[in-house]
Structure 1
C-alpha cells in the first residue's frame, strides 16, 4: 500500500483534534482491511471520513480567510496567517491522506472484487471530492502514489501537478457516472451504511454531476473554461433540496453523532463567534443604500446575550469588550449538534449555473438560476413564507435581469455555503475583491512579514511538516514565503 499507513500511530499521537474511536466502524486503521470485508461495511466510514475529517479540517483552518467565524482572542494563528500556517501544522493533509482517501481506495478495491460497480462508483465520487478539496488548498498534491488498497507502501510519493489532479477528478466522476448505470448484486444501503443517500443511486449520480459542475467552474480564468459544459452538468445535477449531499447528525450523545462545529463535536476547537464581516453582510446582502436584512440572519446567527447580532472582527478578538456583546459561533442553523455538513447542495448548483450563464452573456438565464438558488437556500433554512416572498420580490426589484452581477451571485453563494471550504476557492477566483464581496477586508493583525501590502492575501497552504521531513525530495517548494503567496494553477490565466 502506498500512503503512510504504517505511520498512522505516530500521526495519531500528534493530532489532538480527532478522537480515537470516531471512525472505528472500519476497524483497525493501521492494517489493510480489504482482504475479506464486504464493501457494504465500508461505505459509512468512507462517507464520514470525507465529511467529518477532511472537510471539517479543510473548513476550520481557513476561517481566517473565509471569515464566517472568529476567535475571542487577537492574533489567533489561522486569522493572522502565522505560526501553524507558516510551520506546516495544518492537518487537512493528514486527514485527507491518512483517514479519508484510504477508505475510498478500499471501497473501490472491494467493489471490484465483488463485482459491485455501484460501490466502485461511490469510492470514485468520494475520492474525487477529497482530492478536489486537497488540491484546491495546496496546489500540487500526491495522486497516483497514494494508498490504493493493493500495493506496498511508498513513503516518498511523487507529486502531481494540479492540472493533472483535475483531469483525474473528471475521469473519476465520468467513470462513476457510467458505473452507477451498471447492475450490482449488492445494494449500497444493504447494511445501512449509505448515510448520504440511503442507497439511492440516482441521487449519487446527481451528486457526481454537481461535483463535475463545481470543478469545471473553477477554471474560470483558464482558456479551457467551457460555460456550456458547466450548464449541462448543472442540469443533470442536484435539482432539489431533497437531493442535497449532506451528512446528517443526530445531535448526540456520542461526539461522532454531533456536527463537528457544534459544542460537543469531536473537534477540539471551532470558532467562538460569528465574524463581523459575515454578520454585517447578512444585515445588507444586496449592498443597498438603505440596508435590508437577510431573513436568514436570525436563523444562522444566535442573538448576543446583550441583544442584537454582532460579529467579532477577524484577527482582533473581543478587543476588551464583554463577550456577551457578540453572537456566539455555536447554536445556529449550521453549528448546532444536529446540524448537517453540506458537501454540495441545490443552491450551489444554481449559483454555479448562474455564473456560467452570466459569463455566456445570458443575463436572463443567469438571473433565473440565481433566484432559484436563493429560494432553495431560503427553503433549506425554513424561512417563513411571508419573509421568503418579500425577499424574492426584493431581488426582482433590486437585481433582476437588468442588474444581475457577479457580486450578486457570489454574495448569495457565500451565504448559502456557510462553513464549506469551497468558499475559499471562490474568494481566490474573485481575487478577494471588495467589489464582489462588499466590506471584505483582510483580518486585523495579519502577518505583515509575509503579507506586507493591503492587497496581499493568502493563496495556498504550506504542506505539513511531517511530509516535508520524509519526502522533501519530491514535494514542491514549501517555503512559506512562496507557498502562501503563490496562486494555484486554476487561479492563473493561461
Structure 2
C-alpha cells in the first residue's frame, strides 16, 4: 500500500544549512545520520520539484494560459526581473544534495539498497534539471568548490547514465543484511527493489529518446522499455483525502497550498488561468469533445469550454464560460503525483518503434497509451468509440508522428516532459498541428521559442560569474538558446 508522502521539515531538506545555523557545532566533527532518515526527504522533495516543473511548463506547452495574458514569465517569457529560479535550488539543495549525502551514508554502512535508490534519484533529478537548464555543474557539483565548472549537457547525460548503471548494480547486490527499507522510508515503492530497477530502466528509456534521432539509438530505447516492463509500477506519490498540513496537499489542488517553508511562487495560478486553443483543439480531434476533457477539468458556471490563444488574455469574455481547472484527475488536493506514467512509457515505445520502422509495434503501443489514459481517467467505455473516430489512426500504415505526439500530449496533461518533446521537435507543426507562437512573447526574441530556464540569479550570477559569462547566460536571449539535443536534432521542423 502506498504511504502518503510528507515533506519532512527537518535539517535533511537542506543539510548544508546546519553548518551555517548551528554556531555551537564543532567544525572538526562531521555531522552524520543514517540513510533511512534521509530517503523520505529526498522522495518528498522530488515530488515537490516535479509539481513545480509542471507548473512552469504547463504554460509553455500551452495547456493553459493566464486570464489577462500579461504575466511576465508565463505569458511573455520575460525573466529579466526574476530574482530566484527555484527549480535550480530544488535540484541542488533539496533533491540531489540530500541524495548525495544519503548515498555516502549508505556506502559507509554497506546498505546497497539505499545506495542504489539514491543513485537512481540522482539520475532522475539531474536529468530533469539539465533538460530545464542545459549545461550545469555535475562532475564537481558536490566537491565543495564554490565556483564549479558548468559541464556540457552531453557530459551530464553521461553521468546520468552512469548513476543508473551503478544504481542497478547496487540493487542487484542488495541483501537482507542491508538496513531495512519499508513503506515508512520509501514512499514510492515501499522498499520493492524490483520496482526501483524498472524505474531506472524507464528513466534510461526517457533519456535515450531525447538523443536517439541523432545518435541512432531507437533500438536502445526499445531495449530499455523491454527491461522496464516486467517489474513496472508507477512511481506515484499519494496524498490523504483529509490533509492535516499544507505539505500533505497536492500543490495542483484548489487549496493552493503554501507551505511555510517555501516562497509564494510555488502556489498554482489555475484560478486565474484558462485553456488555450491549442489544447482544446487537441480535445476535439474526433469532431466532438474528447470524453477525457470532463475528467481533466470541471464545468464552469455557464457549462461552456471556451479557450483563447496562448498569452492573448480573455478580453471581454467571462471566466464563467471557461472550464474550472480544479478538481480534475490531476488537479485535486489529493491527486497523485507520478514521475513517469504508464502512458509515457507506451508513447516512448510508440515513437521509438515508429522511427525504427516497426510500425506494427508502434501502432499497438500508441493504442495502448490511449486506452491506458481512458482507463486512468475513468472512462473506459468511451475508448472503443473514440478509437474508431478520426482522432485515432486506424491501422499501422496510417500512423503518423503527429498521431503519436498529440495523443502523448493529451495523456501527459501538465507533465513537464511534454516541454522536452516540443523542443525535440523544435515546436514543429508537423508533430503538433495548430501550435502557434504566443501573441505576447517578448519582441526581442524575434519569434524564437523558449528553450531553457535561466540560472538562479541569487546564486549563480553572484557566486559563479565567470561561468555565467563563459556560457553567455547573461544575455537576455539566453532563454531562447537551444539545448544540446535540440541543436543536434534531426527531427523535422
In structure 2, distance between residues paired with 1:293 and 1:461:
34
- Work out which of the residue numbers 128, 150, 162 in structure 2 matches 1:133: 128
Structure 2 unpaired stretches of 5+: 1-5, 20-28, 259-265
- Work out which of the residue numbers 184, 199, 203 in structure 2 matches 1:211: 203
Q: Does 1:194 align with 2:186?
A: yes
Residue by residue over 1:371-429, the C-alpha shift from the partner in whole angstroms, topping out at 9 and shown as x without a partner, is 11112222222223x21222234479743211111111111111121222111100011
Give RMSD over aligned pairs. 2.4
Residue by residue over 1:42-74, the C-alpha shift from the partner in whole angstroms, topping out at 9 and shown as x without a partner, is 11110111120x222222223331122222222
- Work out which of the residue numbers 75, 82, 91 in structure 2 matches 1:80: 75
- Work out which of the residue numbers 460, 463, 474 in structure 2 matches 1:470: 463
Count of aligned pairs between the two proteins = 459
Q: C-alpha displacement at 1:35, in angstroms?
A: 4.1
Contact 2:13–2:94 (CA under 8 A) maintained in structure 1: no
Q: Does 1:170 align with 2:170?
A: no
Change (3 A) 1:112 1:395: farther
SS at match of 1:180: helix
Task: Flag as ranges the 4+ runs of structure 1 deviating above 6 A.
Answer: none
In structure 1, distance between residues paired with 2:252 and 2:467:
35
Q: C-alpha displacement at 1:292, in angstroms?
A: 3.5
In structure 2, distance between residues paired with 1:261 and 1:278:
21
In the alignment, what sits opposite 2:262? none
Please give the residue correspondences for 1:329-408 in structure 2 after superposition, counting only pairs within 5 Å. Answer: 329-384=325-380, 386-394=381-389, 398-408=393-403
Change (3 A) 1:187 1:200: farther
SS at match of 2:211: coil
In structure 1, distance between residues paired with 2:391 and 2:277:
25
SS at match of 1:207: helix
In structure 2, distance between residues paired with 1:268 and 1:397:
36
Normalised TM-score (structure 1):
0.87
Change (3 A) 1:298 1:352: same
Please give the residue correspondences for 1:91-110 in structure 2 after superposition, counting only pairs within 5 Å. Answer: 91-110=86-105
Change (3 A) 1:108 1:297: same
In the alignment, what sits opposite 1:283? 283
In structure 2, distance between residues paired with 1:487 and 1:164:
16
- Work out which of the residue numbers 402, 419, 426 in structure 1 matches 2:421: 426
Structure 1 unpaired stretches of 5+: 1-20
Structure 1 stretch displaced more, 99-108 or 200-209: 99-108
In structure 2, distance between residues paired with 1:328 and 1:121:
42
In the alignment, what sits opposite 1:234? 225
In the alignment, what sits opposite 2:40? 44
In structure 1, distance between residues paired with 2:68 and 2:54:
19
Q: C-alpha displacement at 1:314, in angstroms?
A: 2.7
In the alignment, what sits opposite 2:56? 61
Structure 1 stretch displaced more, 330-339 or 302-311: 302-311
Contact 1:248–1:338 (CA under 8 A) maintained in structure 2: yes
In the alignment, what sits opposite 1:16? none
In structure 2, distance between residues paired with 1:396 and 1:437:
14
Change (3 A) 1:381 1:160: same
Change (3 A) 1:191 1:106: farther
SS at match of 1:84: coil
SS at match of 1:45: helix
Please give the residue correspondences for 1:8-27 in structure 2 after superposition, counting only pairs within 5 Å. Answer: 22-27=7-12
In structure 2, distance between residues paired with 1:34 and 1:59:
37
